Amino acid sequence: MAYAAVVIQSRLLEMDKSLEEAAQDLGCKPFQVFYLVTLPMIGQALASAWLLTFTVSLDDVVATAFLSGPGSTTLPVLILSRAKLGLNPTINAIATITVAVVAVGVMAGSLWMYKQEKRRAAEQAAAYRDG
């Protein structure tokens, strides 16, 4: 959580607070301000924090192996134990699915950000024409 907190906090500190204040002045409730203004502005930081913590969690296999109790097995510990005994197709399938999910997530996020930026540019152009 410390890694995620640092990434998200840095984005929150860079945010323009006047946008949230403007939304409140226009009559938005606090939840609406968070959902419609704050959340879209920190969306990239949330995705970055998730990717960073996911990667770090896979890296901390040794600590997880020592700290996990009997009967509880995490995915990285399971992969490590299977790697010691010899890899089987199950581990290869898990790795393939993990890489595919991350790749699709990155591509979908990039496409979504591109569309959002294009929509914002069109809205700004329309506002300049009308104003």
Share of the chain above pLDDT 70, in %: 94
In tens, the pLDDT along 17-56 reads: 898 999 999 998 999 999 988 998 898 889 888 888 887 7
Residues 51-72 have a mean pLDDT of: 75
Angstrom distances, CA of residue 26 to CA of 12, 23, 32: 22, 5, 11
| Distance (Å, whole) CA 131 – CA 129 | 6
Q: Is the pLDDT of residue 62 over 80?
A: no
Q: Bigger pLDDT: 28 or 95?
A: 28
Residues 62-87 have a mean pLDDT of: 74
Q: Is the pLDDT of residue 131 over 70?
A: no
Closest CA to 38 of 19, 51, 24, 25: 19
Angstrom distances, CA of residue 41 to CA of 23, 36, 37, 55: 13, 9, 6, 23
| Distance (Å, whole) CA 1 – CA 90 | 30
pLDDT for res 100: 92
Angstrom distances, CA of residue 72 to CA of 37, 67, 69, 113: 40, 10, 6, 38
User: Rounded to two decimals, what is the model's pTM?
Assistant: 0.53
* Residue 19: partners with Cβ closer than 8 Å, 6 or more residues away: 37, 41
Q: Is the pLDDT of residue 104 over 90?
A: yes
